[in-house]
Structure 1
Amino acid sequence: MLDTQKPTAATIREKRAENPKMRDRDFADSLGISEADLVAAHVGHGVTVIDAHPDNIMPQAEKLGEVMALTRNPSCVIERVGTYNNYHTGKHAAMILDAEIDLRIFPKFWEHAFAVEKETDAGVRRSIQIFNGVGDAVHKIHLRDTSDQGAWDGVVEALRLDTQSDTLDLREKGEPEAPHADPAKADQLRAEWDQMTDTHQFQKVLSKLKMNRLGSYRIAGEPYVRRLASGTVEQAFEKIAETGIGVMIFVGNRGCIQIHGGPCENLKTMGPWFNVLDPRFDMHLRSDHIAEIYAVRKFAHGGEALSLEAFDAEGRIILQIFPYRRASEENAVVWKDILSALPSKGTVS
């Protein structure tokens, strides 16, 4: 929860100067402020307030060339090097459709944005950072040595807002939506599930039955879902790396979902973090945040869509893994075998 008596921008800058190496999010938590508050406090000190709407940001991001796209939720961070191409606008949902940077964007949550220039031991680091109305990060675009650094000033000027304030008026953060479903509607859920021809229809089924994703999984039962034992997310990644198959990893928040499509090869555990550290793709997962894991079977265009989905203790989805759609049929078969071999937790309660 945000503290209504949060420190002034000057105090935030002073405290940050005393502790420059802590991760932004951790430092903000230590002061009882949001990450957006921390960034805003530096407006006029390397930070510029910019237009937050994706219709305006995405055409400018394309001018930056090769960058790193980052999206996260409280338990997982996904990072991909690529370019912002093929933007499709939409009032409720927009998209970047590129082989490397693949995003699903929900514009109403893109409320505050900043162009950031930060002095580091490695030189000036530049980024565009977008936040929602409670100050949580929605999406970030980090320039790299291979980016078009010369385009930066023009991009910032094109997006710059007239009002440059170092304080934000943020909403209070609400509680996550608890898992909910009506066990009396379990048969109706299964009947609706059988009628689906596309995975995108699932949300309509949930809305019709007044359920949410995790709630429905808890009552659906096999063959629709199978609850998996703890540690199976890591086991799945080990098999993905061992077999060399391509997967699609969905990680996001209410404002942005980022999708990695391809292999996951270099795995490394560091404390509570389970990491994929590949040349153009990184994922950082807090394994200790995973509370429930499911193997899920839906239908798509006459075939199966098989996913592994992990949730935290408050019912929020952490990540989803599907077989990579651009790969061969054999790729999907191997993924099915990997899922089938993962141990069950037991009867879903």
Structure 2
Amino acid sequence: MTMATPSPDAIRAYLNDNPNTRARDAAASLKTGEAALLAAQGAMPISTHLDTVMPALNTVGSVMALTRNESAVHEKDGIYENYRGGPHASMVINDDIDLRMFPKHWVHGFAQIKETERGTQRSMQFFDAAGDAVHKVFAREDTDIAAWDDMVKTLSLDEQITNLTLAPRAPADGPKADPAKAEELRKAWTAMTDTHQFMRLTSHLNMNRLGAYRIAGKPFVKPLAPWALNDAIVSLGEADTEIMLFVGNPGCIQIHTGPLNTIKPMGPWQNVLDPKFNLHLRKDHVTEVWAVEKPTKRGMAVSIEAFDKHGTLILQMFGRRREADTVDHTGAFKQLISELPQLHLEDA
């Protein structure tokens, strides 16, 4: 099954009439996927095979990696070093670029050169079957542009595509729980030794993350007020507490490790604007926030996790754990969570 896409002429006419509209907003107005916009503008189709793309990116020096969902944008500067491939999941792991990638969602890829008010913008952009962005890479001032151009030539596909065929967008999963299995959930939760076991656990019980949180109860989870996420970001901006901050979509999860220093709200957006890391969060999209504890071999992994009105995960924050640490959280981060506003019945 495919999704009806406006003609390339219609897309170009809209973009010409609305030159300052962000690509994601333009795609929403045109009722299509963002990938269709790049195709209509003549962007270069490129390979989406991670075993080809990620080593090629490692040749160009420092770039900006961008991963987003509907409510949060995660931007990180660095080099694509230490790639580890796999048929179902792949990774880039270093101090700056830290990604978990799921190849089946990397369906369409384009390289684009675009003239903007700030100069020439070079990017590589990857999309799922519905044309929604999975991951983007932007050249920076210190990127090796000659190596970038060589990379694009290496990754380019023979066929030029202007009229892209897209699949329908999958509906949001929503919370899924089985209250009859609540005790079984708690027993399995208590027996965990690694946070990565959690998704297998919930899948086995025919639940998902948010559904499990809603029925687990104390001491596993604590519901926080929706504004607690913004309170946490502001508090972290005032402290020197290092965290791990995850933002993702079905095809890619991007992780920032370090402090949040420069907090700049603007309208509905809360922004972290640090030299090598930016976060843009739609505060008004945050509907549920949970403080979560999961047992590991090194003690409890403690997190703050936020969801939108559809039950989709927006972001997660963990206290930074170093390899030499003997516990899986930091006291400062746990103390911060204890001071956040909880959700009471009158708030719901």
Matches within 5 A, 1:35-74: 35-43=34-42, 47-74=43-70
In structure 2, how many angstroms separate the alpha carbons of the residues matched to 1:204 and 1:173? Answer: 25
In structure 1, the partner of 2:342 is: 344
In structure 2, how many angstroms separate the alpha carbons of the residues matched to 1:109 and 1:32? Answer: 20
In structure 2, the partner of 1:332 is: 330
> How far did 1:149 drift?
0.8
In structure 2, the partner of 1:287 is: 283
SS in 2 for 1:269: coil
> How far did 1:242 drift?
1.8
TM-score (norm 1): 0.95
Contact in 1 for aligned 2:34/2:132 (Cα 8 Å): yes
> How far did 1:87 drift?
0.1
SS in 2 for 1:163: coil
1:221 and 1:15, CA in 2 relative to 1: closer, same or farther beyond 3 A? same
In structure 2, how many angstroms separate the alpha carbons of the residues matched to 1:8 and 1:122? Answer: 29
> How far did 1:331 drift?
7.5
State the one-letter code of the partner of 1:339: I
In structure 2, the partner of 1:21 is: 20
Q: What is the CA RMSD across the aligned residues, in angstroms?
A: 1.9
SS in 2 for 1:108: helix
In structure 2, the partner of 1:12 is: 11
1:232 and 1:131, CA in 2 relative to 1: closer, same or farther beyond 3 A? same
In structure 2, the partner of 1:105 is: 101
In structure 2, the partner of 1:171 is: 167
Q: Which moved more, 1:321-330 or 1:94-103?
A: 321-330
Aligned positions, number: 345
In structure 1, how many angstroms separate the alpha carbons of the residues matched to 2:330 and 2:304? Answer: 13
1:197 and 1:4, CA in 2 relative to 1: closer, same or farther beyond 3 A? closer
In structure 2, the partner of 1:89 is: 85
In structure 2, the partner of 1:259 is: 255
1:147 paired to 2:143: yes
Give percent identity, aligned residues only.
Answer: 47
List runs of 5+ in structure 1 lacking aligned partners. none
SS in 2 for 1:145: coil
Q: Which moved more, 1:284-293 or 1:319-328?
A: 319-328
> How far did 1:142 drift?
0.4
Out of 72, 75, 81, the residue aligned to residue 71 of structure 2 is 75
**Alignment deviations for residues 137-181 of structure 1 (CA, whole Å, 9 cap, x no partner):** 000000011111111221111101111111111111121112111
> How far did 1:312 drift?
0.4
In structure 2, how many angstroms separate the alpha carbons of the residues matched to 1:249 and 1:185? Answer: 31
